[in-house]
Structure 1
Amino acid sequence: MVSCANPDSMVEETHNPLLDNGPMNGNSRHGEAKDEWNGVAEWKIRANPAAVNSKNPIRDVMESLPPVVARNGKLEISLAQGDPCAFGHLLPPDGAIEALLNTAESSMFNGYAHSAGLLESRRLVIAKYHSINSKLAADDVYITVGCSQAIQLCIEALACPGSNILLPRPGFPIYETFSSYYGLQCRHYDLLPDHDWEIDLEQLESLVDCNTVAMIICNPGNPCGAVYSHEHLSQIAGLAERLTVPIIADEIYAHMVFGTRKFVPMATFSWKVPILVAGGISKRWLVPGWRLGWIILHDPRGILKRGRVVEALTRLVQMTIGTCTLVQAVVPDLLLHTSSDFHQKTLLTLKLGAELCFERVKRIRGLSCPSAPEGAMYMMVKIDFLDFVELKNDLEFAAVLRCEELVTVLPGTAFGLKNWIRIVFVAPLSHLKEAWDRIEIFCQRHVRRKP
């Protein structure tokens, strides 16, 4: 084994006499620059700057955290990552694992599928999950490697040079990660915390110009847990129609609502504006590791087709080959045979968790939440730093909380909103209660003493 601490030994062991005409004499066969290792030609390897500069703030934070050591009987409680399977209390639908095993044992799905996905799976996605448009066909669906890839492909298909895209703030940071990677200028529109996190439509309109290729709408929302009303979605669609800007609708949390509002698909308004819907099985069916999502094109006026966006998506999925055929083959079973009781159990877990967190926030000086979440599995909590003079910002708040109380939360900065934190309330109630007990103790310890 070559030791990196000894560059001379590396040169000696990796020297290939076929690359020169004799002993090393400082002259490069190809006239390349010499490095300091005995005149060996320097490798002309350079990383793609776009890849090096790409960041996923959530992954950056989660994967860079040092391990915490249990102490005084405390174990770490993470309210940071949106993984409904992390605590083991929520499991996939009955029969899902068996269906996957049976599919594997059948040996019928070991090869490649159509680049857009298995035909039967695409048909079922239309028939059982997005039947808002009866004219849709299997060709309007692309199966992807999770909802994240669905979003990525939608952005990539629209990313013309010199263009810009409208993104929510706060918003899921992967939107900006993909957009920046493909050279799009990111323009952020604000969600209004005191108006149930609705979009500031006036501000959004001011951001649009002739180079705006799309706006991304997340409903139900990450990181706010908001569920938009029919009226607000209609206003968004009307504005998009007037501005001639297509919508990428991130609906990975579709139907995961437990408040007073019902989920309204963005495609309800596709007669106004073309909609590219990104969805998947990760969250509603509690299998994020299965990595299966989809894109559904709602384009009754043929606008995307005339703009060759459909052709672009087809080319892109042909390049990536497609997601796991075994999981694709299980999709019909998930969509057809999952009981309503399964979904209701999940929604009850989310509802109870959201209610507990919202009530606990109201008890803690220095923290506030403008409205109770009604969907997804997240809520945003505001930190009033006039009450925490020892702590400077949300990054420090999250870091010190984790260090002192072994509770992990994500700083709002990761979502574009400073001095807030995001809480995931999908954990078991016992974990949530313990976590909030610790957060309350932490805040009492650091809150500014009243005169």
Structure 2
Amino acid sequence: MGKNKIKPAFRTLQVEYAIRDIVEASEEAKKRGKDLIYLNIGDPVKYGFKTPKSIIEAVCKALQKNYNSYSESSGIPEAIKAIEANALKKGIKPVDIYITQGASEAIEFAISALVNSEENILLPCPCYPLYQAIVSKFRIEARYYLLDENKNWEPDIESIEPLIDKKTRAIVIINPNNPTGAIYSKETLERIVEIAKKYNLVILSDEIYDQYILEDNLKYVSIASLSDEVPVITFNGLSKNYFAPGFRIGWGIISGPKDLLEDYIEAIHKLARTRLCAPHPLQYAIPVALNNENHYIKEVIQMLRRRRDILVEGLNQIPFISCVKPLGAFYAFPRLEIPHIDDLEFTKKLILEEGVVVVHGSGFGQKPGTKHFRIIFLPEEKILEEALERIERFIKKLIS
């Protein structure tokens, strides 16, 4: 009797993750003996940045004290208190906080506790691929509003309202933005708040890069600080600001009208209870991180500003590429103007022929008729300069 092949669940069929989906081309390039320059994954620790010693020591102490049991499902009180105090400094008034296995889990809880499969959610275009993966898994309809490349990748407010109907439940913003490095103005954020209020939407605000502000004169604004009348969940964590992506510690801060949010909060906590807790000893890093000034990131910002400038200036000197200068995070989203090749084919060929590993723009979504790729500027300056030389050589070869 023949054995039938095991079929995966339908919910997984549309799940893609562009950042890791280019691994196949990278492996092939490695087999060909290419010296690879990895400019695809936003993990600062992979590029020599260190997790602060005080954070590591806090976790070691917790382990030595045998804090290895399950914790409260929403997080340990010391960490929640530190998150609340930090939120208040930013003008956010929490009505609830939950700690998760990375900000990714906080985002998934927020979406899956709110949106049914026959409903829709507004996502930015381009967008960090995690969101597409979550909505695909839960068979939620994604509707995309545009980020305007001609206005430093700020949301195109006019593209938002036409997407909204009675089944729209939430709008996602990623600020500072991945993949573009944009930071949204207060005026833009206020207009999003107005739309959310008008249509009774929840704002889901991903602020995981909120300490990566690359311009001295730029004031960062958290959208939850602009209104107490609109439900907002603000996502953050230790991964980027505190150089601890492997800790998998993140959180969601719920703010807005408490009486309207009670059932939603309980739904999120139900989901948190089903997975018991975030890693218990690692939660002790949160108070140490948030209750003290983050001196290390100030040093990092100086380095990243130089690296960004080298990358952006270099890209803008290469024929058929233009790049808007990122104001935050450590990503750029250059535009390709090369005819007869799409961004995925461009990316794969760049990896195979020159060993420069970037991510195709279509993996994040992009305005129809445009082509992009995402590139990071975490590596040392000489590595970025080498990458720029290779990209220029590849493009000249491509168009000759």
Q: Which of 250, 267, 276 is 1:312 aligned to? A: 267
Alpha-carbon contact 1:112-1:321 (below 8 Å) kept: yes
The equivalent of 2:223 in structure 1 is 266
Alpha-carbon contact 2:211-2:297 (below 8 Å) kept: no
Alpha-carbon contact 1:274-1:299 (below 8 Å) kept: yes
Structure 2 residue matching 1:268: 3-state secondary structure: helix
The equivalent of 1:329 in structure 2 is 284
| Count of residues in Structure 1 that have an aligned counterpart in Structure 2 | 396
Alpha-carbon contact 1:129-1:335 (below 8 Å) kept: no
Alpha-carbon contact 2:126-2:364 (below 8 Å) kept: yes
Alpha-carbon contact 1:168-1:189 (below 8 Å) kept: yes
- 2: CA distance between counterparts of 1:380 and 1:94? 33
Q: Which of 37, 49, 57 is 2:18 aligned to? A: 57
Distance of aligned partners of 1:78 and 1:46 in 2 relative to their CA distance in 1, 3 Å threshold: closer
1:410 aligns with 2:359: yes
- 2: CA distance between counterparts of 1:153 and 1:210? 22
RMSD: 2.0
Q: Which of 298, 301, 313 is 1:359 aligned to? A: 313
Alpha-carbon contact 2:15-2:132 (below 8 Å) kept: no
Structure 1 residue matching 2:375: 3-state secondary structure: strand
Distance of aligned partners of 1:62 and 1:273 in 2 relative to their CA distance in 1, 3 Å threshold: farther
1:423-445 per-residue CA deviation (whole Å, 9 max, x = no partner) reads: 11111112111111111121222
The CA deviation at 1:395 is 1.0
- 2: CA distance between counterparts of 1:70 and 1:160? 45
Alpha-carbon contact 1:238-1:272 (below 8 Å) kept: no
Alpha-carbon contact 1:70-1:76 (below 8 Å) kept: no
Alpha-carbon contact 1:116-1:141 (below 8 Å) kept: yes
Structure 1 residue matching 2:297: 3-state secondary structure: helix
Distance of aligned partners of 1:350 and 1:129 in 2 relative to their CA distance in 1, 3 Å threshold: farther
- 2: CA distance between counterparts of 1:117 and 1:164? 30
Structure 2 residue matching 1:85: 3-state secondary structure: helix
Structure 1 residue matching 2:85: 3-state secondary structure: helix
The CA deviation at 1:191 is 0.5
The residue correspondences of 1:36-435 to structure 2 (distance < 5 A) are 36=2, 46-62=7-23, 65-69=26-30, 75-88=35-48, 90-107=49-66, 109-133=67-91, 135-136=93-94, 140-259=96-215, 260-300=217-257, 302-305=259-262, 308-337=263-292, 339-369=293-323, 371-386=324-339, 389=340, 392-417=341-366, 419-435=371-387
Structure 1 residue matching 2:136: 3-state secondary structure: helix
Structure 2 residue matching 1:50: 3-state secondary structure: helix
The one-letter amino acid paired with 2:120 is N
Structure 2 residue matching 1:318: 3-state secondary structure: helix
5+ long unaligned stretches in structure 2: none
Distance of aligned partners of 1:324 and 1:374 in 2 relative to their CA distance in 1, 3 Å threshold: same
- 2: CA distance between counterparts of 1:135 and 1:83? 30
1:135-181 per-residue CA deviation (whole Å, 9 max, x = no partner) reads: 536xx110001011111111101122410010010010111110121
The CA deviation at 1:349 is 2.1
Structure 2 residue matching 1:121: 3-state secondary structure: helix
5+ long unaligned stretches in structure 1: 1-34, 37-41
98-107 vs 109-118, which deviates more? Answer: 98-107
The one-letter amino acid paired with 2:84 is I
Alpha-carbon contact 1:68-1:403 (below 8 Å) kept: yes
- 2: CA distance between counterparts of 1:365 and 1:45? 49
Alpha-carbon contact 2:14-2:133 (below 8 Å) kept: no
127-136 vs 394-403, which deviates more? Answer: 127-136
Structure 1 residue matching 2:94: 3-state secondary structure: coil
The CA deviation at 1:44 is 10
The CA deviation at 1:67 is 4.5
The CA deviation at 1:263 is 1.2
- 2: CA distance between counterparts of 1:177 and 1:377? 22
Higher relative contact order (CA 8 A, sep 6+): 2
The CA deviation at 1:133 is 4.7
The CA deviation at 1:46 is 4.9
The one-letter amino acid paired with 1:324 is P
Structure 2 residue matching 1:86: 3-state secondary structure: helix
The CA deviation at 1:284 is 0.5
> Identity percentage over the alignment?
33
- 2: CA distance between counterparts of 1:383 and 1:313? 41
Distance of aligned partners of 1:118 and 1:78 in 2 relative to their CA distance in 1, 3 Å threshold: same
1:66-108 per-residue CA deviation (whole Å, 9 max, x = no partner) reads: 2433889x621011111111122x111232222222221121x
Structure 1 residue matching 2:113: 3-state secondary structure: helix
- 1: CA distance between counterparts of 2:287 and 2:24? 34
The one-letter amino acid paired with 1:194 is N
Structure 2 residue matching 1:189: 3-state secondary structure: strand
Structure 2 residue matching 1:376: 3-state secondary structure: coil
The one-letter amino acid paired with 1:325 is H
Alpha-carbon contact 2:107-2:235 (below 8 Å) kept: yes
- 2: CA distance between counterparts of 1:385 and 1:267? 41
Report the TM-score, using the length of structure 1 for normalisation: 0.83
The one-letter amino acid paired with 1:381 is P
Distance of aligned partners of 1:226 and 1:44 in 2 relative to their CA distance in 1, 3 Å threshold: closer
Alpha-carbon contact 1:353-1:428 (below 8 Å) kept: yes
Report the TM-score, using the length of structure 2 for normalisation: 0.94
Structure 1 residue matching 2:99: 3-state secondary structure: strand
- 2: CA distance between counterparts of 1:135 and 1:334? 20
395-404 vs 206-215, which deviates more? Answer: 395-404
The CA deviation at 1:51 is 2.6
